[in-house]
Structure formats: structure tokens, C-alpha cells
Structure 1
């Protein structure tokens, strides 16, 4: 039965920063566009994969860094809204966009539709420290963590810490400016920690976190949409088979796996904090104590959201559009056994994981279906545009990816 989407209410992909090869935005354009919803997107230029999707009505070229003053970004969104000419559902693809929308609901509420949430909550959830504090407050398992405020505190911590441990940037937004570390960094010794800390300045913006050994852990993901009362209208669980960079980055390959315990954990946490909207959670199951530990909370659509679809054809983006336009969201269990592959990063990830010997026990032998991030029979141009932009400068780029994966797997 076809979904009853409101074709009179467009969708707008909102992204800040320079990352043109974003498959999640393309997935959202296709998901709603196939229902007849007019789709618009903010893009870096006219030749990004998203800009060339046949399901996109118009690309608004607006190069940003994500570090602009909020007033400027809000005005830019309002200007785009006036050009669209009718209220549109906002679909953020990054933390900067999700936080901006939440913190400026009054200004944006007249021209756009979006889930209403406590204004400060998305920023707190996107922060590693804020998320850890919320987990402690509400009894949600998370890795042990420290938040040193000075080099002296790092020295004190290092004297009694167990290694290896993990260093991450404390706040989500520093990747647009000067991050202390490049993503998740595994630190194997006290000497290495102190050496890195000398470069972090007087106020280190890092979290030092317990390392969960990959040979004793499994990477799980939860994608869901919660209504204004924090009730899940769409709930999905799956296993991350490979990521890029290895074991610490974006999903490259994943499977749908039913996990009622994990779904209940996510539902309870969202109800406790009162969140509304789309979520993308990363958790690691620690076999040593049998707990699912929450690592990341993205208060927006995840890039791999198209892995998940219900038997009634619902994904989290469709659920949000239906709910915000007053339509009922059809019920239905998730389609188990589906597989998702991000073509341009799964090959180097596969090479790295083979060298590390890591496997997941939950991958189905025969997937019930495969969703490719880029290639789609009804929308070919994003795939070929991705290839053209990805391979520059050709084989050298692919070789560097392979070498980086090899080094990450052998550390």
C-alpha cells in the first residue's frame, strides 16, 4: 500500500561544512522524492552527488564551514525558505545543523517544520561530556571517562590510568576548527599520552575514555524517530560490520539485526531525557560485562539510515515527514537481514578488517536485500558524480586509503 505522504510539504536537506560526498543526504532526497515529496538541498556547489539527483527539485549552493555566526546561518535558512515559498520539513545531516535548528526554533518556526525539543538538549547530546553526564544521571551504561582541565590533571590521571585508552574531542564542533585529536585516538602508554597532551594547550578539549577491546566487543547502531511525546514511531537496530577509519569511523558496511533489549534501552533513555526527532546512536556491546555502552548520540539523521526500513516502507526520514505533516506513521517490524554498503569506503575498510582478524557473529549468511549508498537504478548520476570526485587524484588517493587502513589495523 503506497505511503500517504503530503506532497504539498517539501523537504530541505540542511548541511553546514565542506563534505560533498555525503551519502546520507542523497539517501534522504531519494527516500522522500520517491514518494513525490518536492526535495531541496543545501550543497557546496552545483556538482555534488546530491545536487545532481533526479529526485532533487533544486540545489541551493551555499558554501559554509560550520563556524559561521548562528545569526548568519539562520538568516541564510530563512532566505532559502522564502525562495521555496512554502513551509518545508528541515532534515539536518550534521550536528551543527541540528543544534542550530534547536537553538533557534522561534526564528525558524514560521517558515519550517521540525521536531520541537528543549533548546539546549541537542548540543548537550552531541557533546561527549554532555552525553556522558546524561548517561550517568539516567543509569545508561557508557565507558568510564575523564575530562581533564589542564596538563597537571592529565599527569595525575596518567599515573593511575589503565592503558590502552581512547582520546576523543570533547565537543562535536571542534572538527571545524582546531581539534585536539583527529577522531578517535587509541593511546597505548603513559608516555604517549603525556607526549600528545603537551600539544593540547592550557585547556585540553579532550575526553579520556576507557578502551573497550574490539576482540571483546560488538558495534551496534540504533536509528529511530520519536514524536513530540518521546514515543518511538519508527525503531531500528543493527550491527556495524565495518567502519572507516577502521573500528572508529563512519559505517561502511552494516546489517539489520533485531535486538529488543537494545531497542528498549534506547526508548527508555529518550523518554527520560524528553527528546523528539530522529536519532542515530552508536553503542558497543562489552562481552566482559554483558552491557551495551553508549558511545555517540547524533541528534539527527545518520548517514546510513537507509539500511533500515520497516515492512510498511518506513524509514526514519519518512516517519518524520509523515508525523510533522499530520499523517499517521504505519506500523511494521523492521526488515531483518538487510545489508548496507557504502561503496567508496567499504573496500579499504574490508582490507583493514581482514588484516585485523575482526569479525561479527551476527552477520547473516544470506542477506535478504542490499541497499547501496550511492548506486540506484532510478538515480544514477549521484553514483558517477561520487566516483569522479572520489578518485581524484586517481590511484594515489585509493592507495593512501589502503595504507591508512593497514596502519590502523596493525596498531
Structure 2
């Protein structure tokens, strides 16, 4: 039975009493849902001790056998200083400095902001706070991209002064994105809004105002079903590319405004070069996800976003032979190596969302696009050794997270996570 520690002192004691933490440098991940589960498996299967933190106790990684210790910590969105103090309170338990890996923006920003204070007990293997903040700021990201002749969609931050004029400037349909992704998802269980007309625009901006959330308005890129391509990488502190993979998004849930539920590894060397060039422009260090959309109007791939941390389907590159978390861990330990030849044509699926999408006859593709062979691998939980498909949750050698997900679905209290 897994033990979840509900305060820092209990977690500190558990770490001190567990001999595995004196044998190998540990990793601490937060939060601990789908992304955290993949990172835990990618490291745990290499024999690395993993500590999983989350703001509540039902994250799927908490049930994984590859997580050594589990703790409930303060939510950095509403209690950032308490979260940092929590980490400082457990810090003295580590014989070797612990590596920090965030899996959502709010965790990454808090850890980066207090990296100097945390350095007494922890290693922060990502860029400085100022760099991460610049990349997440669309205006700075897009300006750097333009200087490199990399196309980007047009966008403006929503303010009281330009709220009335933005529809004329951007046009419809319009993408309305939150600056605070976690708070937005908690409020609406969506990653963004898409307004098709002024009435929807006013309704959606009104909802965001009422929730106290800031938005940016962005051009809606007319992209076909093959036009979603993401480049994922690990770049070390010397800006040496250690691992990379291109993924083509096949389906998202909820439709239009959701997150990936089906993606396939592909070859995209030109876009990989673009992603690396932008990250090098920021002297970026760490794991990152660079999203591109193919705009049918001008025949260009446009840089949409860069996420400065692991993301939802990081299990795909791990499964394809590019274990980004382990590449990072090895570099931290002075043993850097590279994995730059991933397996292509392999799919990753989050079955819960994919089934809901297809049950409603929705999606970028009509009907079920998985083969019988792929479904049989999923149903038999043989995805870890498969060359066809891997899953976000189900795993033959680590079945407890799938059971946790099932139990979560029966609960009136829903676990929300935009990952």
C-alpha cells in the first residue's frame, strides 16, 4: 500500500529512513498527474529514486511503483512561499542534492524564482526565472522568433484600453489564451477559449474577468488535421542538444480547445532546427516543448508556444528511445550522453479522452483511427514493449495508476489537471 505524507516533517522522516536516497541522487517531481507519471516511470525504470509532490492526493503518479515517496505540498499558485518553505523543510533529509523537475508552468516558475535559496539542498537543471518568464511571454518569444525569420501568429494582450478594438484587429475566430494556465483550467476545465463572433468574445472575456484572469487574444491559425507538429528536446547548460523528437498531434480533447490525446512520432528536421535556434537565442537549458501549426493561408509552419518543462505526452519520446528526463539526470550527474535517433511512426494515447472524443463523433479525423493491432496492445497492457503504441496511464508492469484513474472517475470530487 502506498503511503502519502501530508506534511513536510513526515516526508522528511521517510526520506531519512529510506536507504535508497543515500545510494543515488533523487529526483523530485511536481505535479504528479499524467506528466508526472511519465517522468517517474522514465526515471524509476532506470533505478533512480523519485519523490512525487502534488497539491492533492489523487494524482496518478502517486500510485506508481516507480515513485519512492509521496507528499502533499502547498499549491504554488496561491501559496508560493509556503511551497518553497515546504521544500526547504524536507531539504536536510537529502544526503545528495535532489534534482527538481516541474511538470506545469506554475511549478516551474516558482522553482526558478527561488532557485538560489533552494540550491542549498536542490539542483535546478532548467533556465533562470528571467529566461523562463521571457519565453512564456508571447511578445518576447515572438519577437525573438521574428528576428530568426521564424513565422508566428499575430496576438495582443487583452487590456481595458484595447478590449473593444481587438476583434477588429485580430478577427474571428479568435483564440483567447490564459496567462495563468492552471487557474484558468481550474475555473473552466479548458485550456483556452475560441470565440467565433463578438457575442462569444464578450461572453468569454466576461467570464475571465469575473474569475480575475488575464487573457491574450491570438490569431486563429487555419490548420488542417496534419498541421499540428511539436518538437520536444533536452538541451544541457552548454546549449548542446542531447535529445529531440518530433510529434504530430492527431487528436485533442475537448475538440478545438483541449489537450493532446493522440500523437505520433514523425521526422521533422527543419522544424527541429527552428526550435533549437529559438531556444539557443534564449540560452535555454532544460526540457522543452515547441509547438508549431501549419497555416494553410500562407503555407508556413508558425511557432505557437514553448513550454519550458515536461508536458503531457512526454511518455512518447521516452518510449521511442529518447528518455529526456534521464538525459537531464545524467547531465546533472556529469555523465552526459545524447539520444538523437528516435523511433518514428509510434503513437501515444490518453485513452480516457480519446474514447470520450470518439464516443461523441468528434475529432480531427472521422471515426476511430487506431488499428485493431494497436487496440489489442492497449487492451492487453503490452504497450511498454510495443513498437506500435504506448499509453499515458495503462502499463503492464505498473498497473496501479490505471486503477487509481478508475477510482477517480467514480468520485464526486474531480481531479483537475490541464496536463
TM-score normalised by L of structure 1: 0.82
Q: Does 1:255 align with 2:289?
A: no
Q: Which moved more, 1:232-241 or 1:364-373?
A: 364-373
Task: Identify if the C-alpha distance between structure 1 residues 351 and 219 changes in structure 2 by more than 3 Å, giving closer, same or farther.
Answer: farther
Shift of 1:304: 0.7
Shift of 1:169: 1.7
Aligned counterparts of 2:240 and 2:372: Cα–Cα separation in 1? 34
Which digits, 9 at most, give the CA deviation of each residue in 1:245-292, with x for residues without a partner? 223322111100011011111011111111100002222112332222
Task: Identify if the C-alpha distance between structure 1 residues 51 and 177 changes in structure 2 by more than 3 Å, giving closer, same or farther.
Answer: closer
Structure-2 residue corresponding to 1:26: 37
TM-score normalised by L of structure 2: 0.81
Task: Identify if the C-alpha distance between structure 1 residues 391 and 286 changes in structure 2 by more than 3 Å, giving closer, same or farther.
Answer: farther
Q: 1:107 aligns with which of 109, 117, 135?
A: 117
Q: 2:275 aligns with which of 262, 266, 271?
A: 266
Q: Does 1:13 align with 2:22?
A: no
Q: Does 1:344 align with 2:352?
A: yes
Aligned counterparts of 1:301 and 1:83: Cα–Cα separation in 2? 26
Structure-2 residue corresponding to 1:56: 67
> 2:111 aligns to what SS in structure 1?
helix
Q: Does 1:388 align with 2:407?
A: yes
> 2:355 aligns to what SS in structure 1?
helix
Q: 1:158 aligns with which of 163, 167, 174?
A: 167
Q: Which moved more, 1:168-177 or 1:242-251?
A: 168-177
Structure-2 residue corresponding to 1:400: none
Aligned counterparts of 2:305 and 2:94: Cα–Cα separation in 1? 34
Runs of at least 5 residues in structure 2 that lack an aligned partner in the other structure: 1-21, 375-386, 415-419
Q: 1:369 aligns with which of 388, 393, 396?
A: 388
Aligned counterparts of 1:345 and 1:204: Cα–Cα separation in 2? 26
Task: Tell me which stretches of 4 or more aligned residues in structure 1 moved more than 6 Å.
Answer: 176-179, 362-367
Q: Does 1:219 align with 2:228?
A: yes
Task: Identify if the C-alpha distance between structure 1 residues 43 and 84 changes in structure 2 by more than 3 Å, giving closer, same or farther.
Answer: farther
Over the aligned positions, Cα root-mean-square deviation in angstroms equals 3.1
Task: Identify if the C-alpha distance between structure 1 residues 348 and 130 changes in structure 2 by more than 3 Å, giving closer, same or farther.
Answer: farther
Q: 2:80 aligns with which of 53, 70, 75?
A: 70
> 1:314 aligns to what SS in structure 2?
coil
> 1:123 aligns to what SS in structure 2?
helix
Aligned counterparts of 1:169 and 1:281: Cα–Cα separation in 2? 18
Structure-1 residue corresponding to 2:7: none
Task: Identify if the C-alpha distance between structure 1 residues 49 and 212 changes in structure 2 by more than 3 Å, giving closer, same or farther.
Answer: same
Which digits, 9 at most, give the CA deviation of each residue in 1:306-338, with x for residues without a partner? 111487x43111110111111131444011111
Runs of at least 5 residues in structure 1 that lack an aligned partner in the other structure: 1-5, 398-411
Aligned counterparts of 1:209 and 1:199: Cα–Cα separation in 2? 18
Aligned counterparts of 2:355 and 2:226: Cα–Cα separation in 1? 23
Shift of 1:132: 3.6
Matches within 5 A, 1:12-411: 12-15=28-31, 22-45=33-56, 48-62=59-73, 64-150=74-160, 152-159=161-168, 161-172=170-181, 174-175=183-184, 182-198=190-206, 201=209, 205-215=214-224, 218-309=227-318, 313-352=321-360, 354-355=361-362, 358=365, 368-392=387-411
Aligned counterparts of 2:78 and 2:247: Cα–Cα separation in 1? 35
Task: Identify if the C-alpha distance between structure 1 residues 7 and 285 changes in structure 2 by more than 3 Å, giving closer, same or farther.
Answer: farther
Q: In the comparison of the two structures, how many residue pairs are matched? A: 379
